[in-house]
Amino acid sequence: MERLWAPWRMEFIQGAKTGNCIFCKNEDGLVLYKGKTSDVILNKFPYNNGHLLVFPARHTGNIEDLTPQESLDLFSLIQKSVSILNLELKPDGFNIGLNLGKAAGAGIADHIHFHIVPRWNGDNNFMPVVAETKVMPEHLKSTCNKLKPYFDKLYRAS
């Protein structure tokens, strides 16, 4: 079995738990889009630059509770997010997924959210293995500033 080491996530794991849902409060300055039923934020603890979280605006931890409109809007926003990331960051591929429930690996199980992780050929190098360090080539605010204008256009179009 191979192991994926992500030591930079320890801040998140050991961080103070306030009981407030990070998706409902959206106060980190990393909000890219707030729609009628779905929102997008940059992941504060990303696996790669441009790691987005797409989630229903309504607080729910159960995918079966989504209305047909919420489901459609979520997937549409995932598609648009991939298009935006392709335009601006030009990744070679993506990991897109949902961890449903704590047993499935959901760090925040009470508000479902999809991860969109841009991937580049060679983005896994020796640093995480040798130095237990993930090199992030761009600051979160810089990535946010690059992506925000694209999401602002979505907001005006909706």
- Residues involved in catalysis: 113
Residue 75's CB is within 10 A of a number of other CB atoms, namely 13
Q: How far apart are CA 158 and CA 89, in angstroms?
A: 24
CA-to-CA distance for 4 and 78, rounded, in angstroms? 25
Do 155 and 33 form a contact (C-beta atoms < 8 A)? yes
Neighbouring-strand partners of residue 93: 119
Measuring CA to CA, which residue among 39, 37, 13, 14 is closest to residue 28? 39
Strand partners, 54: 40, 114
